[in-house]
């Protein structure tokens, strides 16, 4: 059983790296952002709250994030382990989490703010099938059109300069206390997130003492995102 937390500002490739890690190791990728996006797309009550909050340029409350993760973890569909992305968000959650689960490692994807801005503002998503693109190194064949289904690509609603500035500030303020908690337990590995995804993945696996990625497996969903 392997249990990991992955941390890194939005655009650092958390989703891609989590999917690469979970693809052949059979661990479940738990993404708080994906759970919220699903709720928004499916017009749930929670989704309405998340949409309102983001439209106001604010952040979803730590309590809601915690309850979403708790619900997900009590689902017990993670026989071989999990990798969590988007949690914990504060010191109290980090301490609770460490008391409840034996964490094997905390992966920190390190990316300068200037590079985050460049990556995030170039992200596009298919409005029909949800396929992710990045105009920097993963443009669709026909500009503005999804390679998979031909539908129109759009910017995510929360990928604006203003919203990103808020998220970056929030990330730095909140991440440092969480990292302090994990660093005390010596769980943290730091990985340079600037190279290509497969290079970053190899670095993660080497530092965690895991076998190399098996490239003959199925391509992870959404692997085109930076």
* CA 3 – CA 160 distance, rounded (Å): 33
The answer to whether residue 149 forms part of the interface with Zn ion (CB under 5 A) is: yes
The answer to whether residue 55 forms part of the interface with Zn ion (CB under 5 A) is: no
Q: Which is nearer to Zn ion, 38 or 101 (CB)?
A: 38
Sequence-ordered list of residues with C-beta below 8 angstroms from that of 182, at least 6 positions apart, any chain: 5, 94, 98, 103, 106, 188
The answer to whether residue 131 forms part of the interface with Zn ion (CB under 5 A) is: yes
The answer to whether residue 142 forms part of the interface with Zn ion (CB under 5 A) is: no
Task: Give me the sign of the Cα torsion angle 73, 77, 78, 79.
Answer: positive
The arrangement of strands across the sheet holding 105-110 comes to: 28-31, 81-85, 2-7, 105-110, 188-192
The answer to whether residue 202 forms part of the interface with Zn ion (CB under 5 A) is: no
User: For residue 84, which of 186, 168, 3 has the smallest C-alpha distance?
Assistant: 3
Our measurement of the distance from residue 42's CA atom to the centroid of its chain's CA atoms, rounded to an integer in Å, reads 20
- Catalytic option among 156, 174, 194, 205: 156
User: For residue 207, which of 105, 117, 72 has the smallest C-alpha distance?
Assistant: 105
* Least Å from the CB of residue 28 to Zn ion: 25
Q: Which is nearer to Zn ion, 127 or 207 (CB)?
A: 127
* Least Å from the CB of residue 140 to Zn ion: 9
Known catalytic membership, residue 183 = no
Of the residues 1, 48, 129, 142, which one makes contact with Zn ion according to CB under 5 A: 129
Q: Which residues are catalytic?
A: 14, 89, 123, 156, 167
The residues that touch Zn ion, with contacts defined as CB under 5 A, are 126, 128-129, 131, 146, 148-149, 151
């Amino acid at each position: 059983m392997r249990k990991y937390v992955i941390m890194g500002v939005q655009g650092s490739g958390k989703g891609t790296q989590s999917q690469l890690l979970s693809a052949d190791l059979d661990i479940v990728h738990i993404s708080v952002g994906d759970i919220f996006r699903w709720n928004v797309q499916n017009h749930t009550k929670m989704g309405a709250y998340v949409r309102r909050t983001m439209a106001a340029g604010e952040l979803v409350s730590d309590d809601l994030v915690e309850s979403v993760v708790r619900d997900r973890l009590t689902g017990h569909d993670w026989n071989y382990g999990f990798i969590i992305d988007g949690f914990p968000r504060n010191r109290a959650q980090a301490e609770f989490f460490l008391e409840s689960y034996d964490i094997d490692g905390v992966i920190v994807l390190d990316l300068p703010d200037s590079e985050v801005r460049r990556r995030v503002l170039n992200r596009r998503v298919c409005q029909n099938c949800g396929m992710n693109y990045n105009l920097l190194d993963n443009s669709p064949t026909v500009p503005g059109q999804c390679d998979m289904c031909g539908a129109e690509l759009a910017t995510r609603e929360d990928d604006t300069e203003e919203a990103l500035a808020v998220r970056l500030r929030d990330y730095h303020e909140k991440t440092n206390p969480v990292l302090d908690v994990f660093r005390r337990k010596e769980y943290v590995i730091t990985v340079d997130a600037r190279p290509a995804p497969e290079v970053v993945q190899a670095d993660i696996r080497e530092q965690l003492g895991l076998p190399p990625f098996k490239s003959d497996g199925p391509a992870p969903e959404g692997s085109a995102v930076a």
